[in-house]
Amino acid sequence: MKLKILKQASLPDQLTAELNSLYDVYEYEALTREELAVLAEQFTIMITNGEATVTRQLISSLPSLELIAVFGVGYDGVDVRAAADHRVAVSHTPGVLTDDVADLAMGLMLATSRQIVTAQKFIEAGGWRQGGFQWTRKVSGSRVGIVGMGRIGQAIARRCEGFAMQIAYSDRKAIPGLDYPWIEDISTLASQTDFLVICTPGSAENQALIDERVLSALGASGILINISRGSVVDEFALIKALEQGIIAGAGLDVFSQEPEVPQALLRRANVVVTPHMASATWSTREAMSRLVLENVSGWAKNKTLVTPVPALEP
Ligand code: 8YV
């Protein structure tokens, strides 16, 4: 008999098709409460994505659950404490998306400071015939502050080196072997940078980490880039900072209430927005899919995972 899997959030079609060919896959959204109650005991594996929420309530309603496999590196939507309490393992897809996310961060830095989107609109509106486009901010040689120096933060730093940027970072601790200056306090880091790039994971602890104070420190010539999670930035404070010229601009791939993006962040010359697409390239989404399949099949065969999430701190 095929293993029953609960698919709790949307996944790429190709991955869904492969899962369907190997397992008995049930769409959470399509199940009625009664159907879920009947099947609950039979699900040992649940698959979700990086944007979905997996609550303690859901975890405890599935008594046989052993694994939550996340399609994404970020697993802030999963109540990992509840998973640990129920002895449920969690896997994610780190590594394979690092380059894409770092690439998009660079794209947002360039697009925001060089106003590429606004420049295109300028041509489309016929503005060029009346004269050239306004001058913009130089990227090469500027200062970047990276908040969260994990795999993605370090990949961004390497790219910034190619732009001859001065790099500093903030993290809970200085990372051994990294030569960039570590500045513990994020406001201090922000006050010394032209670009503040947010790469730290979403979590309760990081909720609104980038607040009014940090944005004020970033200052009127500073640009905020966020490719992490919307929850890490206080979006109200960000809007205020943009409206009042407290910061110079923002490049954002993530938002607090996706897929909703506050109107105040749209149609602004100094803000570039993308729809949480940092890892959404063909090859990376395929690699993420493969990793999910490997984790699921490893677990199904002998309870092993290729990429478990890091163990919880006690
Ligand atoms: C995806 C992500 O958008 O990896 C993450 O943490 O946010 C993204 O790669 C998401 O997981 C796909 O649903």
97 lines ligand 1 (CB under 6 A): yes
Taking residues 274-301, what's their average pLDDT?
98
Asked if the model's pLDDT at residue 184 lies above 80, the reply is yes
Identify the residue whose C-alpha is closest to ligand 1 atom 7.
Answer: 50
153 lines ligand 1 (CB under 6 A): no
Token representation of residue 168: 């500093």
Say how many Å lie between the CA of residue 268 and the centre of ligand 1: 26
Count of CB atoms situated within 10 Å of the CB of 3: 16
Say how many Å lie between the CA of residue 175 and the centre of ligand 1: 25
CA distance linking residue 169 with residue 178, whole number of Å: 10
- % the chain with pLDDT above 70: 100
> pLDDT grade, residue 313 (50/70/90)?
confident
230 lines ligand 1 (CB under 6 A): no
What is the structure's pLDDT at 314? 72
- Per residue in 150-164, pLDDT (tens digit) is 999 999 999 999 999
Strand, coil or helix: 5: strand
- Per residue in 86-132, pLDDT (tens digit) is 999 999 999 999 999 999 999 999 999 999 999 999 999 999 999 99
Count of CB atoms situated within 10 Å of the CB of 236: 14
What is the structure's pLDDT at 85? 97
> Among 212-216, 231-235, 309-313, where is mean pLDDT lowest?
309-313
Contacts of 250 (CB under 8 A, 6+ apart): 112, 223, 224, 225, 226, 238, 242, 265, 270, 271, 272
Q: Exactly one of 51, 92, 235, 276 is catalytic; name it.
A: 276
Taking residues 234-244, what's their average pLDDT?
98
CA distance linking residue 238 with residue 233, whole number of Å: 7
Asked if the model's pLDDT at residue 288 lies above 90, the reply is yes
- % the chain with pLDDT above 90: 98
Q: Exactly one of 18, 51, 92, 229 is catalytic; name it.
A: 229
> pLDDT grade, residue 312 (50/70/90)?
confident
What is the structure's pLDDT at 31? 96
Average pLDDT, the chain: 97
What is the structure's pLDDT at 101? 98
Say how many Å lie between the CA of residue 123 and the centre of ligand 1: 33
210 lines ligand 1 (CB under 6 A): no
Say how many Å lie between the CA of residue 3 and the centre of ligand 1: 25
Taking residues 60-71, what's their average pLDDT?
98
Taking residues 23-46, what's their average pLDDT?
96
- Per residue in 291-302, pLDDT (tens digit) is 999 999 999 999
What is the structure's pLDDT at 310? 95
| 229 tagged catalytic | yes
Ligand 1, residues 8, 10, 13, 49: which to mutate, most atoms within 8 A of Cβ?
49
Say how many Å lie between the CA of residue 80 and the centre of ligand 1: 17
Ligand 1, residues 76, 203, 279: which to mutate, most atoms within 8 A of Cβ?
279
DSSP letters, 101-141, are HHHHHHHHHHHHHTTHHHHHHHHHTTGGGG-PPPP----TT
279 lines ligand 1 (CB under 6 A): yes
Asked if the model's pLDDT at residue 53 lies above 80, the reply is yes
| 258 tagged catalytic | yes
299 lines ligand 1 (CB under 6 A): no
Asked if the model's pLDDT at residue 282 lies above 80, the reply is yes
What is the structure's pLDDT at 78? 98
Asked if the model's pLDDT at residue 1 lies above 90, the reply is no
Helix H, strand E, coil C: the string for 178-241 is: CCCCECCCHHHHHHCCCEEEECCCCCCCCCCCECHHHHHHHCCCCEEEECCCHHHECHHHHHHH
CA distance linking residue 267 with residue 26, whole number of Å: 40
Q: Report the nearest atom of ligand 1 relative to the CA of 75.
A: 6
Say how many Å lie between the CA of residue 97 and the centre of ligand 1: 9
